[in-house]
Amino acid sequence: MTNRVASTLGVLWPPVLFGVLFLGAWEFIVWFWGIEQFLLPAPSAIWSALAEEIGAVWEATYVTGANALVGLLLGVALGVAMSFVMMRFRIFNDLATPLAVALNAIPIIVIVPVLNNMFSISTEVPRRLMVMLIVFFIVLVNVSKGLRQVQPLHVELMRSYAASPWTVMVKTRIPNAVPFLFTAVKIAAPAAVVTAFVAEYFGGRQNGIGYGITSSAATSNNDVTWAYVAGACALGVTFFTISVGLEKTTVRQAGPRRPGGATT
């Protein structure tokens, strides 16, 4: 237990120290050069605004986090399922890959208004669908890569024992794809948060971090704007930390495996 605590502290203290130094330097620069608050508020001013508006910031963070989480889960599930289909049917891979690339190339600012017109303005469905599309592509590319980049020797060995395609998939391809999946999730988790609150800029319900940022910026409440930004940062870090924790827990239970790569 002591070794585990020491290891955890060894991992945590560098980013914590960097964060403290960064905020201290920020505070000093604002004070030393006398930067006006409407240009760049000091961290102390942002903290005061966050303390005053904690209820509104928390509610907005909860809404954006829920949208990001639902979209993330749907995107991961759909991406993994589509990866297996594309692995099993090569013709489907040839047909679906260009479509997925084309969808990913369309900017968020184009898709979100279209989705808002398709669904009721009082629903969160457009934002969650937007998150799902972004996550889907990240997971699809990486899991497909993990399923295919198997050592030929391993596949030939399985076939020499008359293993069925399903057995090869379960015993060889899926274990090889697991590291790729977790790497994709670590990329997709913060991306889901970013997509969720960026989608809030383009219509829909006025209740998330994106709306909080735009409304406070429009009234020149820059310290409140940065308080919402801090909420978005905390949400992104939380999503990433949870994804890392899930990866470590899974690897610890399954045993060490060869690390996979990822493609953004």
Cβ-contact 161, 202 below 8 angstroms? no
C-alpha count within 13 angstroms, C-beta hemisphere, residue 95: 7
For residue 119, what is the DSSP state? S
Closest C-alpha among 219, 222, 198 to residue 210? 198
Q: Is 4 part of a structural domain of the chain?
A: no
Q: Is 39 part of a structural domain of the chain?
A: no
Residue 92 vs residues 9, 119, 132: alpha-carbon distances, Å? 47, 29, 21
C-alpha count within 13 angstroms, C-beta hemisphere, residue 220: 4
> What is the pLDDT at residue 7?
62
> What is the pLDDT at residue 92?
78
- Domains in the chain, number: 1
Instruction: Output the tens digit of pLDDT for each of the chain's 264 residues.
Output: 566 656 665 666 777 888 889 999 999 999 989 888 888 899 999 999 999 999 999 999 999 999 999 999 999 999 999 999 988 888 877 777 788 888 778 888 888 888 888 887 778 999 999 999 999 999 999 999 898 888 777 777 777 776 777 777 878 888 889 999 999 999 999 999 999 989 988 877 778 999 999 999 888 888 899 999 999 999 999 999 999 989 888 877 766 554 444 555
pTM: 0.86
Q: Is 174 part of a structural domain of the chain?
A: yes
User: Which CATH number belongs to the domain containing residue 90 in this structure?
Assistant: 1.10.3720.10
Q: Is 25 part of a structural domain of the chain?
A: no
Q: Is 2 part of a structural domain of the chain?
A: no
Hey, how many other C-beta atoms are within 10 angstroms of the C-beta on 132?
22
Kindly report the CA angle at 42 between 41 and 46, in degrees rounded to 5?
75
Q: Is 24 part of a structural domain of the chain?
A: no
- Segments forming the whole domain that contains residue 199: 55-254
> What is the pLDDT at residue 256?
52
